[in-house]
């Protein structure tokens, strides 16, 4: 291999590394937390109620490979999130939400205009990722998630301060 081919190969490698990193950051659905599920394949429905600042139930048990349909209801007085991910994913998402906290989340309300705003890199605060919902008080939405394999997985609220206040729960594998 001559020098110019080496350079091309090195450039290609670094580009795919960038693409991988961007994908992991943007989607919020790494392999270790599972993947979006199909409602028709859900083995059961789990209702998760959100309060200020905790979940009911506080933990769930699933089987590796199981698809669960979550019905998430916000019974609190604040905006809350239900987000399935690894602790590392939650931490990254908390940093994102911290940046826009004052505009998008106003106590018990969401600023929907601001949520649709492009934050650059194709990111927005829309929260239409398949692994999460962000709800105002009284709202209810579904998340269908497939827990493909055992992992260190939590469901968590990444509204600034809520995770720190204990608003997360463990996903235990049977």
Q: Cis omega before residue 83 (within 30°)? A: no
What is the β-pairing status of strands 66-74 and 44-51? parallel
Using a 10 angstrom Cβ sphere, with 0-12 exposed, 13-18 middle and 19 or more buried, the burial of residue 160 is middle
| Distance from C-alpha of 133 to C-alpha of 129, rounded to nearest angstrom | 8
DSSP string, 144-172: EEEE-S----EEE--STTTTTTT-EEEEE
User: Min. distance of Cβ 67 from Cu ion in angstroms?
Assistant: 25
Nearer to Cu ion, 80 or 127 (CB): 80
User: Min. distance of Cβ 162 from Cu ion in angstroms?
Assistant: 3
Nearer to Cu ion, 90 or 162 (CB): 162
Q: Cis omega before residue 53 (within 30°)? A: yes
For 110, the 3-state DSSP assignment is strand
User: Min. distance of Cβ 80 from Cu ion in angstroms?
Assistant: 4
User: Min. distance of Cβ 115 from Cu ion in angstroms?
Assistant: 16
Nearer to Cu ion, 68 or 157 (CB): 157
For 133, the 3-state DSSP assignment is strand
Residues that bind Cu ion (CB under 5 A): 80, 157, 159, 162, 167
User: Min. distance of Cβ 54 from Cu ion in angstroms?
Assistant: 9
Nearer to Cu ion, 153 or 159 (CB): 159
CB 59 within 8 A of CB 172: yes
Nearer to Cu ion, 37 or 55 (CB): 55
């Amino acid at each position: 291999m001559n020098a110019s081919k080496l350079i091309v190969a090195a450039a290609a490698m670094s580009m795919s590394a960038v693409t991988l990193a961007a994908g992991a950051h943007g989607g919020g659905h790494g392999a270790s937390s599972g993947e979006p599920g199909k409602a028709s394949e859900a083995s059961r429905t789990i209702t998760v109620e959100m309060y200020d600042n905790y979940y009911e139930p506080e933990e769930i048990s699933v089987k590796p490979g199981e698809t669960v349909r979550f019905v998430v209801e916000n019974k609190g007085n604040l905006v809350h999130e239900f987000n399935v991910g690894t602790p590392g994913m939650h931490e990254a998402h908390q940093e994102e939400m911290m940046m826009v906290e004052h505009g998008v989340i106003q106590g018990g309300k969401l600023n929907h205009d601001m949520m649709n705003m492009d934050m650059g890199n194709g990111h927005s605060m829309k929260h239409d990722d398949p692994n999460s919902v962000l709800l105002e008080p009284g709202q209810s939405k579904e998340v269908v998630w497939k827990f493909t394999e055992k992992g260190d997985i939590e469901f968590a609220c990444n509204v600034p301060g809520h995770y720190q206040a204990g608003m997360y729960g463990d996903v235990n594998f049977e």
